[in-house]
Chain A
Amino acid sequence: MTRPTGAAPQGAAPRSPGAPLLGPLAALARACLLLVAVSAVVFAATSLLPGDAAELRATPGATPDQVRELREELGQEGPPWRLYADWAAGMLRGDPGTSLVNGRPVLDAVLQRLPATATLVGASLALAAPAMLLLGGWAGAARRGRGTATALLTGGAAVPVAVTASGLAALLSGVLGLVPAVSLLPPGEPPVRHPELLVLPVLSMALPTALFGGGLLAGAVADAASRPHVADARRRGRPLWAIAAVDVLPFLLAPFLRVLAVSAGGLIAAATVVETLFGYPGLGSLLVSSIASRDVPVIQAVAVSAAAVVLAGTALADAVAGGTDPRRRPW
């Protein structure tokens, strides 16, 4: 904290850590802008899909007039930019609108399914986080982050989630009969009351995440391990676990948090596949079927909340990492 604050030009986002108030504000503004951009891209992408909700809802024999009436009834008549503006205005009021398929509030649908997906993503992160540290440590220690270990991790992470999930289901449910092959939640019950239903979806999501994170961390581990104080500790005969915990781990905190934030985004994407495969009633399966029915308000709400989670996670990771980077501490 010895640098002067300096006079940043107006409107510029000061990147120096010396602007304690403007930093978080700028980050917030950046996150908001990104959210707006995400919502616009999602909106544009859904309008590019063939057909709209009215066309898909009308039976094939319906006349063009009937379809237009239906579109009016759904509030979908008008140029795309108008529809987007209406939607954005609603969002600012905290109202994501009503579903075009069943006329019910989008907020209800999202809130009803949020706990299920949060449980899935949370449990997967909890499982994947220690695993990626261990894997990263192992791969980083071996051949300084390059070589077969890292290649194995990267290759493993590249296996599509659907393949991992089907494989796990075939093994754990089909061959061993340990857990149910589908994850039907009884209505109105929180998923934590049925841990046996979480096993397959969580493993299917956590496994690739751990491999991916381990691969990313391997480089940071190798970097930290090559620092002089590690070599010094080694020479003094400090046990390996102590070197890992005391001399290497603090250097991993910042990259680890960033990897976790990115992983959270990946997990949300993986949830769409996993939830659909296992019949698990979360936001991911909601998103998939809403795309099929062109239910734009629901697609928007799910996509924007997913983006918000990732952006919040990244911002949080940045903040924490900035505050804990041992390189900025006087040794």
Chain B
Amino acid sequence: MRRRSLLAALCAATLAASGCSGGGDAPAGADPATTLRYAAVGAPAATTNDPHGRVGNEADYLRFAMLYDVLTVLDEQGVVQPRLAESWEPEDGDLTHWHVTLRRDAVFSDGAPVTADDVLFSLRRIQGKGAENNGRLSMFDLEASSARGDHELELVTRQPYAEVGAALASLTFVVPDGADDITEPVPGSGPFVLEEADDTTAVLTRNGDWWGPEGGADRLEITAMPDPAARAAAVASGQADVAGSVAPATAEQYAGGGEVEVVTRPGGVNYPLVMDLETEPFDDPAVREAVKLALDREALVDTVFLGYGEPGADLVAPSEPFAPSAEPIGRDLDRARELLEEAGHGDGVSLTLHATNSYPGMEEAAVLVSEQLAEAGIEARVEVGPPDTYWTEVWNVEPFYLNSLGGNGFVDFSRMALLADGPINETGWNDEEWDADFHTALATPDEGERHALLGDLQQRLADDGGYVVWGLGDGIDLTAPGVSGLPTGPGFHRLRIEQVEVSG
């Protein structure tokens, strides 16, 4: 026994020293099954089995995306593609009644076929947990919606809603009808089935009955790790194949050759300045414009994202297919001072800029922003708050702070944060005309026309709104040698790892 553990320690030491992958592989002599070990963002104690309520861990989302089918997905360009739903067509001219057809070959891991009843039950359950999931699916009137046979359903929206395909994307995990209390895992119909799990690591094996294309690893080991440096170290020392979301500094450490590869997802990180339009001095458009012009966006991107990113043009969702192609806002200190002068702040403005330190680079961003604003005569004192109270005490409360955006499409984000009565309208954006045009856009059946309208809405918000999107950082993942096909598209595209290959 003693000799065995000594040997094990020696082996491990040698393996670690040579950079090879150590334990965790398939046992010798078994068939050459491939395992993808993914170290994902997540606090183990927050691990949950309920895909519809509050999900705090990316590790959980990753597991749900592999265990459950969703109705539609976004592709690498952000365009909606069918998944469990084969098609979604309006039944009438006013875009409030939608006919959704499900694929017929989807089955749950207990052998039961996936029916319209299961889908409707899941959608209602998601809507019912609105307090925990940002009011997801609130555009649907699910009481008025109904199943039409086993594989068809009619979805009713509260208002004309042309973007139903996008509304059904990504987080519509389908569970069996009647699964009310999901504290333990329930059958899913996704590309993988759960083999075993504790609160830190889940082991998934490929679902032979899945309807989708073959390919990718046979097994997945998803581990929740809160510390970004630990995730990177896990890949570097051969304990994991993928480290999700590491800091730019870590990426730089591995970028200069070596075996660990840096994979970037454009536009994955976004820390906009949030200005509350209902509070002084941000109620004055001149002040807002002065703030936007006072920033040296190139320098911010270089310092905060270490070059892994692009300067921003204040667009909240620049990766949408319909986003306007705007140039990043250049720095103009003279114009900024002039604007402040005109607004009656010739002798300066004093503000407090809030930030929190749980995101890589956010604190640095706040400090640099405050230095740059000072050059234009805006005195912004930085206050860094603890992460566990930031979202209750600063977010949507203070008039000036850094937010972390990403993952939501423009339409969803607008419903929540930009319509005058949106539940999380943190900037106090209240523009009747803008609201009316938003509803008009959603009632426009022609995609080209609708996209033009939505693009225009984004641009108007960028020009006059309270969000200063000074830059877009890349989401950065690390991969071990032999890993290929890691998704790099916008938002929740990164969860679609069922096709990721790993060579034994």
Contact = CB atoms under 8 A, between A and B. Distances in A.
Interface in A128-167: none
Contacts of A196: 8-9, 11-13, 16, 22
B249 interface: no
A181 B237 contact: yes
Interface residues of A, number: 54
Contact of B234 (A56, A279, A281): A279
Given A66-B130, A112-B199, A182 B45 contact: no
B24 interface: yes
Interface in A164-186: 173, 177-182, 184-186
Contact of B132 (A51, A59, A194, A288): A59
A239 interface: no
B31 interface: no
Given A102-B47, A184-B240, A187-B221, A178 B16 contact: yes
B325 interface: no
B236 A181 contact: yes
A9 interface: no
Contacts of B240: 184
A57 B132 contact: yes
Nearest to A103: B183
B392 A51 contact: yes
Interface string B307-338: 00000000000000000000000000000000
A159 B266 CA distance: 42
Interface string B364-405: 000000000000000000000001110111011000000000
B49 interface: yes
Interface stretch (B61-69, B81-89, B94-102, B224-232): B224-232
A44 B370 CA distance: 39
Contacts of B24: 186
Contacts of B47: 102
A243 B145 CA distance: 88
A51 B392 CA distance: 8
Contact of A295 (B9, B45, B233): B45
Nearest to B6: A195
Nearest to A196: B12
Nearest to B11: A196
Contacts of B196: 187-188
Contacts, number: 178
A59 B131 contact: yes
A182 B8 contact: no
Contacts of A277: 227, 230
B226 A289 contact: yes
B203 A293 contact: no
Contacts of B130: 62, 66
Interface string B213-226: 00000000101011
Contacts of B391: 60
Contacts of B233: 173, 180-182
A289 B44 contact: yes
A272 interface: no
Given A196-B12, A285-B44, A293-B45, A56 B388 contact: yes
A187 B201 contact: yes
Contacts of B12: 179-180, 194-196
A198 to B, nearest CB: 9
A199 B9 contact: yes
A293 B389 CA distance: 10
Interface in B17-63: 17, 22-24, 39, 43-50, 53-54, 56
Interface in A58-86: 58-63, 66-67, 69-70
Nearest to B417: A61
Interface string A278-297: 11010001101110110100
A260 interface: no
B385 to A, nearest CB: 11
B499 interface: no
B23 A178 contact: no
A195 B6 CA distance: 8
A94 interface: no
Contacts of A194: 8, 12, 23
A192 interface: yes
A101 interface: yes
Interface string A26-53: 0000000000000000000000001100
Contacts of A292: 43, 45-46, 387-388
Contact of A290 (B11, B23, B45, B131): B45
Nearest to A59: B134
A178 B46 CA distance: 32
A162 to B, nearest CB: 12
Nearest to B393: A50
B407 interface: no
A293 B54 CA distance: 12
A112 B393 contact: no
Contacts of B48: 101-103
Given A56-B392, A194-B23, A102 B234 contact: no
A180 B50 contact: no
A279 B196 CA distance: 20
A196 B226 CA distance: 22
A282 to B, nearest CB: 10
A289 B236 contact: no
Given A50-B392, A104-B183, A112-B199, A289 B225 contact: no
A278 B230 contact: yes
B230 A279 contact: yes
B414 to A, nearest CB: 14
Given A184-B200, A278-B230, A281-B200, 10 more contacts: A51-B392, A102-B50, A178-B13, A184-B201, A184-B240, A185-B200, A187-B196, A187-B203, A188-B196, A199-B9
Interface of B: 5, 8-9, 11-13, 16-17, 22-24, 39, 43-50, 53-54, 56, 130-135, 181, 183-184, 196-203, 221, 223, 225-227, 230, 233-234, 236-240, 387-389, 391-393, 395-396, 416, 422-424
10 contacts: A58-B132, A63-B423, A102-B49, A180-B16, A187-B200, A187-B221, A281-B198, A286-B199, A289-B43, A295-B45
Q: Can you list the 3 inter-chain pairs with the closest CB atoms, starting with the nearest? A: A196-B12, A61-B423, A289-B45
